[in-house]
Structure 1
Amino acid sequence: MAASQSEKKVVVIGIDDREASTYAIRWTLDHFFPSPIFKLVLVHSRPAASSAVGFTGPSAGEIFSILDSDLQKTATKVIDSAKQLCIEKSVHDAALEVVEGDPRNVLCMAVEKYHAAILVVGSHGRGALKRVVLGSVSDFCAHHANCTVMIVKKPKIKP
């Protein structure tokens, strides 16, 4: 018996413009969506242009505008790519959204907003030192999201 739309558990996938994200979407669609028992929500965290511009002066406004436009183009590309992957896997009712902010906080808030049962994030395969220095979205979400967090890692191809 198929679950109705209101009874479906929610899977949130954090997406960006990296290969690890695309792999996480494909993996999730292949493993959870042959039989649509879940509602799918794909969330892209778009950094605020103001957080990337670290200076002031007469040209800061112009740079801010250019950067904001570039961030919007990237977000559109990410959403369009995710939408295409969903269509290829016959998932036509996925919700896609772009939220401005730090991806760690954006994904944890999406879990709360959608009452997600599972949060899926891709792994970039960074070493422990890089994760400590740069911060890891998956590590943060594993400790702070109020649901199961699945970290999807693309297998390394051995020569």
Structure 2
Amino acid sequence: MEGEDRRVGVAIDFSPCSKKALKWAVDNIVRTGDYLILVIARPEGDPDDGEMLLWKTTGTPLIPLLEFADPAVTKKYGVKPDPETLEIASLAARQKDIVVVMKIYWGDAREKICEAIDNIPLTCLVIGNRGLGKIKRAILGSVSNYVVNNASCPVTVVKNAENE
């Protein structure tokens, strides 16, 4: 892969486990010159919402870090990045000299993350694991489990250490 543009994806929902996955990806996978792509899958939005309607089928264009740090920009996509996630991404961009972008999809997180892998396309993906118990996982279905079994690229699952 020498000389090739690596596109490292991280599935983000701004939860503690997705921040942990982002931090892990930055510390362990991302190298100088890589593209770090934050993939966000939102539940179906209001179909009357202009921006969401426009990008509903393909997901948004790649949104540069500077833009998704702007609350006016993220509001129109129905996303509210938390300061910690933005800080991890900005620090990585500065320290590792990488390009950080965000891509937002609407729909089932499992399907949309796999779609992102193929459409962007991603070199690899890092995803957090909420650590649902066996019963909750059986009922809700594990997004990370689905992605691991259906992704067309290597997937790393970062487990959430705090077991409730």
Relative to the length of structure 1, the TM-score reads: 0.72
Question: Which structure 1 segments of 5+ residues have no match?
Answer: 52-68
The residue that corresponds to 1:140 in the other structure is 146
2:32 maps to 36
Counterpart AA for 2:9: V
Out of 86, 97, 106, which is 1:83 matched to? 86
Relative distance call for 1:87 and 1:150 in structure 2 (3 A) is same
Structure 1 position 107, deviation (Å): 0.5
Task: Find 1:105's aligned residue among 107, 111, 127.
Answer: 111
Deviation at 1:113, TM superposition (A): 1.1
Using structure 2 for the length normalisation, give the TM-score: 0.70
- Partners of 1:21 and 1:106 lie apart in 2 by 16
Q: CA shift at 1:81, angstroms? A: 4.6
Alignment: residue pair count: 133
Q: CA deviation at 1:36?
A: 1.9
Q: Which has the larger radius of gyration?
A: 1
Correspondence 1:143-158 to 2 at 5 A: 143-156=149-162
Residue 96 (structure 1) shift: 0.8
- Kindly indicate whether the alpha-carbon contact (under 8 Å) linking 1:32 and 1:38 is maintained by their aligned counterparts in 2: no
| Alpha-carbon offset, residue 143 of structure 1 | 1.1
1:156: how far off? Answer: 4.0
Looking at structure 2, the residues matched to 31 and 49 of structure 1 have their Cα atoms a distance apart, in angstroms, of 34
DSSP-derived class of the 1:83 partner? helix
What RMSD over aligned residues (CA atoms) do the two structures have, in Å?
2.7
